[in-house]
Chains A and B, each alone.
Chain A
Amino acid sequence: MMREESKGTNYGIKILVVDDEKRIRDACRAMLSNEGFEVALAENGFAGLKRIEEEHFDIILLDLMMPGMSGIDLLTHVKAKHPDTLVIVITGYATLEHAIEAMKKGAFDFISKPFSPKDLRTVTAKAIEYIRTLEDIAHEKSRMGVLINHISDGVMATDMERLVALANPAFLRMIGYRGESAIGKSVTDLIRNENLLQVIEKALSMPAEEFGEVTEEFAEGALTDTEERVLAVRCVPFRDRLHRNLGTVTVMHDITASKKMDQMKSDFVSMVAHEIKSPMNSVLAMVKVIQDGLAGELTEKQREMLGRISEKIKGLADLAAELLDLSRIESGLITMEKGRLQLEPLLREQIEFHKAKARNKHISLSMDHVPELPPVLVNSRSIEEVFSNLISNAIRYTPEGGSIVVSAGVEQGYVLVSVKDNGFGIGKQDQDRIFERFYRVKNDQTRLITGTGLGLAIVKSIVDAHNGMIKVDSDIGRGSTFSVYLPIMQP
């Protein structure tokens, strides 16, 4: 809450003093002007009434005992005409009952005669505090109202009875509501989509001690028939001081554009990668035919150079293949079909498959004793790719004569598979980044190892898409352990 303190707290506050005693009027004027108030005076009830008809006062200091119109009568007029004006009644020494009567009729406070400047300051300060607080609330309300009505995200608040307390125009547009004012209606009258109603229900029933939000994505046309929008919806319960649920706030964000961009990017990458990959395959095969001397005799130098050409093209073909993979994972194609899978046979198969490569480098590749594993719900081909990548990385980043051990077990709702090598290891500064696309650890040992920098990015995307986790534990010179956690399939 912002206050314009620089101009003084009392700046612009108008006070009317109504008292038949000139001495008191003058004393009040002197003191209050000094405090920065705008002060007006009236010598009796009629004069006071005339003043309040002419203008609005924030505070009225009102003597109750006056000839002619009494203070109580004037108070009644003030409350009828200016309900927000604060009236502080001035009472004589023995007239406490009058003060009580005045309070009942809506006076804000009272002050008894005789009073000191300090008494007056105290009672006006209290009134000012009250006025400023009301002002702050009003400003805040207005600011919030403007903000909520003008942001492009949809916002709706409900109470615990599922009645709509607030719904901005963007929200109503997003759900396709065109009826009369939504405020006070039940959410079921506004929202047709069952999933969205469930999101709100979930937030409403969230236990008070739990902080959380319910998120959901609504695909094109899910909420309205006409608009082809993708909406990200978040619904959060809001609470009082004692953390009791008071209702929910739902925020809808239109992510159509970013979804489209994502799709375009994936399509583009996949198109380019595919167009590059196919000719690479043919080139590689043709180079091989020439290398084998099937297109005429070759000199040793020609053969050697063709060997290098082949390696370079293989690198490019791998890159294209991995880009293709990544874009397929990102567009969700790969993880669409999941099935129940026992990991152990797959791991054994992978080890068999990579044995030849490991043997070439005199690396021992083996499987640790594996306890019986519960099944996981996965896309078997993607998961196969995860372990294939991890094992082939381990082979590439382990020097001759090293060893690689694959082990598996169960840990807190997950099947845990580790691929442990005693190779070059990864420095702490690189460990956070190795899962980024195109990030490759560059040092003397890895300089000559070829790779695209996409393998681990693919691995991570796949593991993420299975609600799993991947961790790396590594020390330079001692080796690395990559651990993959896949959630155990619920029966």
Chain B
Amino acid sequence: MDNKTLILVVDDDPDLVEAISMKLESENYRVAKAYDGIQAWDRIRQERPNLIILDVMMPNKNGYQVCDELKKDPQYSNITVVLLTAVGESVTSTKYTHMDGKTALADEFIPKPIDLDSLMEIVKDYTR
């Protein structure tokens, strides 16, 4: 398995970050962690992850903002973003998720509660 692939996990709940990280590490990914939007940007600049698992609801800059800035920046726009959407929707199937009427151009959306197995499937698909 490719051990050069770096995944950045961003969520304000350290327990969730740890759980996702353990799962990723068990699949031989390298993992970086951040707990809010600002920290996320620090990690992105310093470590240039291949893929970001990004929570939406976070203090100090939410996931939509991070995603929006990243996808608009040619330096980083090729990084895959998997958004964890938890804003009240119990079922989300498609990609037109709105917040404040805007559409975020993430590569993938996963509704919370997260099914770790499907998350791994998606990560594998994008990092193959």
Binding site for B on A (CB under 8 A): 277-286, 288-289, 292, 294-295, 314, 317-318, 321-322, 324-325, 328, 337, 349-350, 353, 380-381, 384-385, 388-389, 392
Given contacts A292-B26, A294-B23, A337-B101, are A281 and B93 in contact (CB under 8 A)?
Answer: no
In the complex, which of the residues B19, B91, B93, B94 contacts A286, with contact meaning CB atoms closer than 8 Å? B19
B73 CB to nearest chain A CB (Å):
27
Pair B96/A381 contact, Cβ less than 8 Å: yes
Q: B94: which A residues are within 8 A, CB to CB? A: 349, 353, 384
Inter-subunit contact B19/A277 (CB<8 Å): no
With A281-B86, A321-B90, A325-B89 as given contacts, are A288 and B96 in contact (CB-CB < 8 Å)? no
How many angstroms between the C-alpha atoms of A296 and B89 in the bound complex? 34
A-B contacts, CB under 8 A, total:
84
User: Shortest Cβ distance from A214 into chain B, in angstroms?
Assistant: 32
CB of B22 within 8 A of CB of A295, answer yes
Stretch at the interface among B39-47, B75-83, B112-120: B112-120
Q: How close is A220's CB to chain B, nearest CB, in angstroms?
A: 23
Could you tell me the dominant secondary structure of chain B's interface residues?
A: loop
CB distance from B38 to the nearest CB of A (A): 20
Q: Are B86 and A392 in contact (CB under 8 A)?
A: no
Instruction: Find out whether the CB atom of B19 lies under 8 angstroms from the CB atom of A389.
Output: no
Q: Report 24 cross-chain contacts, Cβ distance below 8 Å, ordered by A residue.
A: A277-B86, A278-B13, A278-B57, A281-B13, A281-B113, A282-B19, A285-B23, A286-B18, A289-B19, A292-B26, A295-B22, A314-B113, A318-B90, A321-B88, A325-B90, A349-B93, A381-B89, A381-B96, A381-B98, A384-B94, A385-B91, A388-B93, A389-B91, A392-B91
Contact of B22 among A289, A314, A392 (CB under 8 A): A289
B10-33 near A? 1/0 per residue, CB < 8 Å:
000101101110110010000000
Residues of A within 8 A of B18 (CB): 286
A309 to chain B, nearest CB (A): 13
Decide if B93 touches A353 in the complex (CB within 8 Å): yes
Q: Is the CB of A350 within 8 A of B96?
A: no
Give the chain A neighbours of B91 by CB distance below 8 A.
384-385, 388-389, 392
Beyond A285-B19, A289-B19, A325-B89, is A280–B98 a contact (Cβ under 8 Å)? no
A residues near B117, Cβ cutoff 8 Å: 288
Of A289, A317, A353, the most chain B CB neighbours within 10 A belong to A289
List of A residues within 8 angstroms of B86 by Cβ:
277-278, 281
Which of B23, B98, B112 meets A292, CB within 8 Å?
A: B23
> Within 8 Å CB of B98, what residues of A?
337, 381
Tell me whether B50 is interfacial, beta carbon within 8 Å: no
CA of A318 to CA of B91, assembled, Å: 10
Q: Could you tell me which B residues sit within 8 Å of A by CB distance?
A: 13, 15-16, 18-20, 22-23, 26, 57, 86, 88-94, 96-98, 101, 112-114, 116-117
In the complex, how many angstroms separate the beta carbon of B22 from the nearest chain A beta carbon?
Answer: 5
Identity of the chain A residue whose Cβ is nearest the Cβ of B19 in the assembled complex: A285
Please, how many angstroms separate the alpha-carbon atoms of A337 and B103 in the complex? 13
Tell me how far the C-beta of A199 lies from the nearest C-beta in chain B, rounded to whole angstroms: 31
**B90 in contact with A282 (CB, 8 Å):** no
How far does the alpha carbon of A51 sit from the alpha carbon of B86 in the complex, in Å? 92
**Which chain B residues lie closer than 8 Å to A381 at the CB level?**
89, 92, 96-98
Residue in chain B with minimal CB distance to A313: B113
Residues in chain B near residue A385, CB distance under 8 A: 89-91
**Do A288 and B23 have beta carbons less than 8 Å apart?**
yes
B90–A281 CB distance below 8 A: no
A380 touches B93 (CB 8 A): no
| Distance from B112 Cβ to chain A, minimum over Cβ atoms (Å) | 5
Cα A295 to Cα B90 in complex, Å, equals: 29
- The CB with the most chain A CB atoms within 10 A, among B97, B98, B113, B116, is that of B113
Q: How far is the CB of A234 from chain B (nearest CB, A)?
A: 34
Give Cα distance in the complex from A289 to B96, angstroms: 30
In the complex with contacts A279-B13, A281-B13, A384-B94, A289-B23 CB distance below 8 A? yes
Partner of B113, one of A317, A325, A328: A317
A386 to chain B, nearest CB (A): 10
A278 to B86, alpha carbons, bound, how many Å? 8
Closest to A287 in B: B19
Given A280-B113, A294-B23, A317-B113, the answer on whether A285 and B16 have CB atoms closer than 8 Å is yes
Q: Which residues of B lie under 8 Å from residue A281 when comparing CB positions?
A: 13, 16, 86, 112-114
Chain A residues contacting B93 (CB-CB under 8 Å) are: 349-350, 353, 384, 388
Chain B min CB distance to A131 (Å): 70
Q: How far is the CB of A279 from chain B (nearest CB, A)?
A: 7
Q: Which residues of B contact A384 (CB under 8 A)?
A: 91, 93-94
Contact between chains at A328 and B23 (CB < 8 Å): no
Q: What 9 pairs across the A-B complex have the smallest Cβ distances? A: A285-B19, A282-B15, A353-B93, A282-B16, A321-B90, A388-B91, A324-B88, A288-B116, A281-B113
Given contacts A292-B26, A321-B89, 5 further A-B pairs with CB under 8 A are A281-B113, A285-B113, A314-B113, A317-B112, A350-B93
| Most A C-beta atoms less than 10 A away, residue of B15, B90, B92, B98 | B90
Shortest beta-carbon distance from B97 to chain A in Å = 7
Nearest chain-A residue to B15 (Cβ)?
A282
* B94 nearest in chain A by CB position: A349
Interface pair A328/B88, CB less than 8 Å apart: yes
A294 to B23 Cα, complex, angstroms: 7
Point out the residues of chain B lying under 8 angstroms from A286, CB to CB: 15-16, 18-19
Nearest-CB residue, chain A, relative to B57: A278
Instruction: Report the minimal beta-carbon distance from B9 to chain A, rounded to whole angstroms.
Output: 11
